[in-house]
Amino acid sequence: MFKRTLIFGLILALLSLIGTPSFAQTKKAKKTDSEQTSESDNDAAASDEGEDAPEISKKKSKTAAEEGDEEEVKPKKKGKSRVEIEANFNSDNINLVPTGDEGIILFYESDERSKDGQKKWIFVKYNTDFKEVARTEYMASKKVNFVKAIYDKSRKMVYILLAVPVNTGMANGYSKEVEMVQYNVRKNKCNSVTGLLPTPTTITDMYMSQSTVYFGGFSNPTQKEICGRTILTLMTCGIYYCAVGGDNAVKFHPMLYYADFKGKQIASFPISQNDNKGFVSNISRGIDSSNVAVSFCKQTTKKDLFVQYVKLMGQGGKEGREYEIPAKQGIGLNEVAVSTLADKSILAVGSYSKYGENIKGFTRKKLKHGHITDGLLTTGFYISKLVKGKQSFLRCYPFKNFFKDGDNSNQNADYSTSQEVLFHDPIETKEGIIMIGEFYYEHYHTETYYDGKAWHTRQVFDGYVFTKALVACFDPENGDMLWNNVFPINFYTPPYGLYPHTTVMSNPDDEDIVIVYNDGKTLRSKVVNNGKMQNGTFTAAINTGKETDKVVSTSGSNVEYWFDNYFIAYGYESIKTKGKLIGGRRQVFYFNKIEYR
């Protein structure tokens, strides 16, 4: 059982020599069984000489606790806690999935190809002491890329979605071949089902239930539609593009698919019966084990804002009840993330916007890179509860309710923002319903190019910039806000990196709720104890364990809850060795074990 007070301390003193094979070495040649065994033995020896898991300690000085200062705890010598794998920031895509006390699964695409061009994917299993214990290969279609991965704890399976990318002007669009790979964690074996998507699709979420994996998002324009729109725009000197509303001229519809490993098929669900726009934003646990709750939006008329819905979908394509989340007059609900509570009611959270004459020029929103943007300013958060399909309450909280403590001189300031909010599924705890939202905006740069006749400029999408996170607790009976806290999270993620950056650990036998995030160079945490957010942010630098090392840049930094009281932090680092002129820089993918005490 956890103690009652917190200090965030991190012990990151690491191995000087890592006993795992480098990513580059793995890609160059297939190793023999004896070579792999030798490497595993070396890894075990290195583990004995290394240092143990870094700690998030719960001891804090009285002065720091009262003043809310950041405090860092000095490292202590222990066993192994870090692995580095040689990797390239720009071309290597290493993926990590925590699998609880089974360890972690690392998988990536190698440079090796079969005679017919199939891609070789490598799966590596590490135990909780970071020793490599298994390795296997999977041959995938030569055209597919990695999309998403989830872990099914009950069946000890990792599910990986691979799909063929397509350029439709929207982020993460996929079409044609789709492969759902099932990796058996205990048997170290891969199985898969393949299929064809009926239309190019951007995937926004994925969820596992029983023997079926659900994934969905929204349809993209086909190449035929793109070509037709381009030709008409050129023929009319841009009049067609302006007249029909630019990118809004393209229809996008909510799409939901499932991969059935028993039936060996990938098929689609009839998520929406009309021809209006919409998209699937969230897939989560249903009211019982036989269904899932699919959150999606659609337009009821061409002039309406998007209306949010929750639909229950059963196994084998069985369509269930559909529930609307009614909005108050004068506001629009922008998106929704849902959780099913213990009493089988459905709780929904999201952001909302005002609309009407008070915001000139904005009457509706359009879809961009998978989320509704470029329209109404986001005004605040909402929470709603559905009991047997009927709305029990809808509570709206303007941003000024959250930021007022930071600006006591202007309590009535309008805190509406053009930033989007990425929501976690609501978390049911004994304290109440925990909601977490992460603010972000899209980052672009301007390119100039010459087409042979004239110079042109264009906006190129770089990725997402995350700025801050908001955590709040609500009473599940009436939606009253019990407490809230806003804190900075400074991240930049590439175009495929729209995923949550904070992770939560809530122990039912303890009063602490721990929120941890990785900003690339530092691990930070916030703790809720007895329903109150503790003062201060507790930090610790992510070091390599060598005093001569300097981390020059980071990418893809993340942290996830692992098992018991452990987290795992990982990402890419470019490291320079001080005083070494030649060969003094390395690029690695790292992962660290972090203990919460």
| All structural domains of the chain | 23-596 (2.140.10)
> Looking at the predicted structure, is the pLDDT value of residue 392 above 80?
yes
Q: What is the pLDDT of residue 115?
A: 81
Alpha helices by DSSP H, 164-271: 223-235, 239-243
Q: Which residue shows structure tokens 């074990």?
A: 593
Share of the chain above pLDDT 70, in %: 70
Q: Is the pLDDT of residue 374 over 50?
A: no
Q: Are 593 and 98 in contact (CB under 8 A)?
A: no
Predicted confidence at residue 98, as pLDDT, reads 95
81: number of Cβ within 10 Å: 27
**361 close to 438: Cβ distance less than 8 angstroms:** no
Rounded mean pLDDT of 247-252?
54
Q: Please give the Cα distance from 241 to 293 (Å, whole number).
A: 37
* Amino acid 99: pLDDT: 96
Q: Which residues of 423-432 are buried (b: 16+ CB within 10 A; e: fewer)?
A: bbbbbbbebb
**What pTM was computed for the model?**
0.78
Read off the pLDDT of each residue in 296-309 and give the average, rounded to a whole number: 71
Among 247-251, 299-303, 503-507, 520-524, which stretch is predicted with the lowest mean pLDDT?
Answer: 247-251
Element spanning 39, H or E: helix 33-49
Nearest to 68 by CA among 11, 7, 4: 7
Cα(35)–Cα(574) distance, rounded to whole angstroms?
A: 28
Burial class (CB in 10 A: 0-12, 13-18, 19+), 306: buried
Q: What is the pLDDT of residue 275?
A: 63
CA 186, CA 514: separation in Å to the nearest integer?
Answer: 30
- Tens of pLDDT, residue by residue over 70-91, are 444 333 334 468 899 988 876 6
pLDDT category of residue 456 using cuts at 50, 70 and 90: confident
pLDDT of residue 62: 37
Strand partners, 394: 384
Question: What are the residues facing 311 on neighbouring strands?
Answer: 294, 322
pLDDT of residue 133: 95
pLDDT at 399 over 90: no
Q: Could you read off the pLDDT of 255-281 as tens digits, one per residue?
A: 899 998 888 889 888 776 666 678 888
Average pLDDT of 175-183? 89
